């Protein structure tokens, strides 16, 4: 251990003397891209091994066993969390955004290996979630801890965390351009040459890692048979509107189900109820099992019966409208199955379930158009692809990621125009209907959302603890003027005095200006009391609920120079406008330099 520390010190000294910061960041971006890609490959292989083991040794073709497998997987995750991880598993992307916003990109070492254990157990046993989020979290945690080991500053550490996410995505999908755009759109990086080159290097490193270990595998078996035709423009607009409403449904259902499961105080009850619910859904709708890439590929190949699998409605699938109804059911229930898996204690991501839901909806829209009997004919495979882009753009508010991801993973660059039409319409409608995504809604409540608006970004990065001042002399309401002057005013360097009761609750304030006219009139020292002089502050700042954006707004609306801070109902201190603006300017300089 001592030898390792000494070796690290020698390396750091050598690095500072021989390698510039810029070059070192570029080297680190290659390393974290490789390690994030390796984490993604490992995650996929472990999951596929579990699935192959279960399908070959246990699950033959009987839906009855789909009923029990998710419960087993969730139970294993529950035991791991209880006895090893010892804290609830957080949503991958949301926890990374919180880390970038409030912790300078610091992530626990547990986040390196926990996703590699919990996510394969969840997905491998049939949990209806994806692997992208866990891969991103594991890679980001590796990058964060490497950065801390090499004494990299917070701003550069945050950039390298984003590089790791690009490496993981590039490895999962073998789509380096979309990986870069995801890091920019979701983690709201400024796209400058300072950030562009590290992201590019990490993305290349991640995709090369995937090629090395997995070969040039194609995620989706798709060959473009029909290009874009102008006459289909209206139908792509319809698909954009449809995916927008589906995105709104997806988001609202996500939070509604999580809210329902919060009623269960014990994780055991969440596991039991969630596991049974997932088992029932998988029994009735087998394509909800696991990630769902096989379902998407079957739709792209035009084999909807294989995509649907064995269902209780097999006797009726000769009727195309029954098929359409079943596919639409997958659109509806994928969001429910995914969120139930999370709520029951499972680990995974939301990105790939979004793609599954979009592919089903796109295929449904195409089938409806082709079977209405109005003489219209559109490509079902094209609509399946573009439906995925529409859902991604709407659910995570990342239209460019959606466009480039679908184009890259399918080689369907000839569909750029319909991809742009559908993704942009879906994004615009959803963005106007929902201010936040499933990643950011809870973070917005605590002011931890990252945004391309620099003012809001800087306010989100600021910590209230750093601007609270506590060197104010308090007084109590029964004090006389003389006591106040001798015990507080004469010993204070501030011109404001909080009035506190016996429970340390703020009941008013007194300004030096309130007593300046008669503070030297000794005849009044025993006849005037604090309770006669105090008045309410123009506004209060609540430590537990107000974020820095709201604090700034309260100063603007009240016109005050000092506002009291209340924590747990008790007085904590004051925030002054001058200190707040000074801290804001410093943070802005650090963020933009």
By the 8 A CB rule, do 187 and 162 touch? Answer: yes
Residue 412 pLDDT grade (very low, low, confident, very high; cuts 50, 70, 90): low
Burial letters 268-295, b for 16+ CB under 10 A, else e: eebbbbbbbbbbebbbbbbbbbbbbbeb
Distance CA 171, CA 173 (A): 6
> Which pLDDT score, from 0 to 100, does residue 35 have?
96
pLDDT above 90 for 457: no
- The string of pLDDT tens digits covering residues 147-175 is 999 988 888 898 999 999 999 999 998 88
> Which pLDDT score, from 0 to 100, does residue 441 have?
74
Report the range of poorest mean pLDDT among 6-15, 42-51, 447-456: 447-456
Tokens 């309130």 found at: 514
> Which pLDDT score, from 0 to 100, does residue 308 have?
87
pLDDT above 60 for 472: yes
Distance CA 444, CA 428 (A): 20
More confident residue, 283 or 191: 283
- The string of pLDDT tens digits covering residues 518-562 is 888 887 888 888 888 888 899 999 988 888 888 888 988 888 888
> Which pLDDT score, from 0 to 100, does residue 516 have?
84
> Which pLDDT score, from 0 to 100, does residue 502 have?
86
> Which pLDDT score, from 0 to 100, does residue 459 have?
65
Residue 590 pLDDT grade (very low, low, confident, very high; cuts 50, 70, 90): low
192's CB contacts (< 8 A; 6+ apart) are none
Query: Which has the closest alpha carbon to 338: 256, 264, 414, 402?
Result: 256
Distance CA 447, CA 547 (A): 5
Tokens 């926990």 found at: 114
> Which pLDDT score, from 0 to 100, does residue 169 have?
93
Most confident by average pLDDT, 225-234, 248-257, 283-292, 314-323: 248-257
pLDDT above 90 for 241: yes
Residue 591 pLDDT grade (very low, low, confident, very high; cuts 50, 70, 90): low
By the 8 A CB rule, do 145 and 97 touch? Answer: no
Q: How many CA atoms lie within 13 A of 223 on its CB side?
A: 1
By the 8 A CB rule, do 338 and 397 touch? Answer: no
**What domains are there in the chain, each with its CATH number?**
2-214 (1.10.3080.10), 230-445 (1.10.3080.10), 456-592 (3.10.580.10)
pLDDT above 50 for 137: yes
pLDDT above 50 for 60: no
Q: How many residues does the chain have?
A: 593
Report the range of poorest mean pLDDT among 108-112, 251-255, 310-314, 371-375: 310-314
> Which pLDDT score, from 0 to 100, does residue 561 have?
87
Distance CA 264, CA 109 (A): 30
H or E segment and range at residue 573: strand 570-576
Share of the chain above pLDDT 70, in %: 91
Share of the chain above pLDDT 90, in %: 42
Helix 154-173, helix 176-186: angle, nearest 10: 140
Q: Are strands 541-542 and 570-576 parallel, antiparallel or unpaired?
A: unpaired
User: What is the model's pTM?
Assistant: 0.80
pLDDT above 50 for 380: yes
Distance CA 235, CA 424 (A): 14
Tell me the average pLDDT across 78-96.
86
Ordered strands of the 562-567 beta sheet: 468-469, 570-576, 562-567, 541-542
> Which pLDDT score, from 0 to 100, does residue 59 have?
46
Query: Which has the closest alpha carbon to 378: 338, 423, 418, 320?
Result: 418
Residue 115 pLDDT grade (very low, low, confident, very high; cuts 50, 70, 90): very high
Residue 318 pLDDT grade (very low, low, confident, very high; cuts 50, 70, 90): confident
> Which pLDDT score, from 0 to 100, does residue 463 have?
77
Instruction: Spell out where 355-494 has E strands.
Output: 468-469
Tell me the average pLDDT across 237-242.
96
pLDDT above 90 for 94: no
pLDDT above 70 for 298: yes
Report the range of poorest mean pLDDT among 39-43, 92-96, 218-222, 283-287: 218-222
> Which pLDDT score, from 0 to 100, does residue 192 have?
66
pLDDT above 60 for 61: no
Distance CA 140, CA 84 (A): 21
């Amino acid at each position: 251990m001592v030898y390792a520390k000494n070796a690290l010190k020698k390396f750091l000294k050598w690095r500072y003397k021989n390698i510039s910061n810029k070059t070192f960041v570029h080297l680190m971006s290659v390393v974290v891209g490789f390690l994030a890609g390796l984490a993604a490959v490992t995650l996929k292989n472990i999951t596929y091994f579990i699935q192959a083991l279960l399908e070959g040794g246990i699950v033959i073709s009987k839906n009855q066993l789909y009923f029990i497998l998710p419960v087993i997987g969730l139970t294993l995750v529950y035991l791991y969390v209880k006895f090893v991880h010892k804290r609830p598993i957080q949503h991958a992307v949301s926890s990374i955004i919180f880390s970038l916003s409030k912790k300078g990109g610091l992530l626990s070492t547990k986040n390196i290996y926990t996703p590699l254990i919990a996510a394969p157990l969840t997905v491998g046993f049939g949990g209806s979630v994806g692997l992208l989020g866990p891969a991103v979290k594991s890679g980001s945690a590796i990058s964060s801890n490497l950065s801390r080991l090499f004494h990299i500053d917070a701003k550069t550490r945050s950039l390298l965390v984003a590089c790791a996410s690009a490496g993981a995505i590039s490895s999962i999908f073998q789509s380096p351009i979309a990986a870069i755009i995801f890091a920019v759109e979701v983690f709201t990086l400024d796209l400058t040459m300072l950030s562009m080159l590290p992201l590019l290097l990490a993305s290349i490193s991640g995709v090369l890692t995937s090629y090395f270990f997995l070969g040039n595998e194609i995620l989706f078996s798709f060959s473009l048979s029909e290009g874009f035709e102008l006459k289909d423009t209206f139908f792509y607009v319809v698909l954009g509107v449809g995916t927008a409403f589906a995105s709104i449904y997806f988001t609202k259902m996500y939070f509604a189900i999580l809210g329902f499961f919060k009623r269960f105080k014990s994780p055991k009850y969440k596991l039991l109820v969630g596991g049974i619910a997932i088992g029932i859904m998988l029994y009735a709708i087998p394509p909800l099992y696991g990630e769902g890439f096989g379902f998407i590929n079957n739709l792209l190949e035009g084999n909807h019966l294989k995509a649907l699998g064995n269902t209780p409605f097999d006797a009726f699938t000769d009727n195309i409208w029954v098929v359409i109804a079943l596919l639409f059911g997958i659109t509806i229930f994928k969001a429910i199955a995914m969120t139930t898996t999370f709520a029951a204690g499972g680990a995974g991501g939301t990105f790939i379930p979004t793609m599954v839901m979009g592919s089903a909806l796109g295929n449904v829209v195409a089938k409806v158009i082709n079977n209405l009997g109005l003489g219209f004919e559109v490509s079902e495979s094209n609509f399946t692809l573009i439906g995925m882009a529409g859902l991604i753009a709407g659910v995570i508010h990342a239209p460019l990621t959606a466009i480039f991801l679908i184009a890259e993973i399918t080689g369907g660059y000839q569909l750029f125009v319909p991809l742009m039409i559908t993704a942009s319409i879906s994004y615009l409608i959803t963005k106007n209907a929902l201010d936040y995504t499933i990643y950011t809604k809870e973070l917005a409540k605590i002011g931890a959302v990252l945004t391309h608006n620099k003012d809001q970004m800087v306010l989100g990065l600021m910590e209230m603890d750093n601007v609270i001042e506590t060197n104010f002399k308090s007084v109590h309401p029964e004090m006389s003027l003389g006591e106040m002057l001798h015990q507080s005013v004469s010993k204070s360097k501030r011109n404001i005095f909080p009035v506190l009761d016996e429970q340390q609750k703020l009941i008013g304030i007194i300004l030096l200006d309130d007593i300046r006219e008669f503070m030297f009139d000794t005849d009044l020292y025993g006849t005037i009391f604090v309770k006669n002089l105090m008045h309410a502050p123009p506004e209060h700042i609540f430590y537990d609920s107000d974020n820095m954006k709201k604090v700034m707004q309260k100063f603007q609306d009240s016109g005050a120079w000092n506002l009291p801070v209340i924590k747990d109902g008790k007085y904590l201190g004051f925030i002054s406008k001058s200190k707040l603006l000074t801290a804001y300017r410093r943070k802005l300089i650090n963020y933009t330099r």
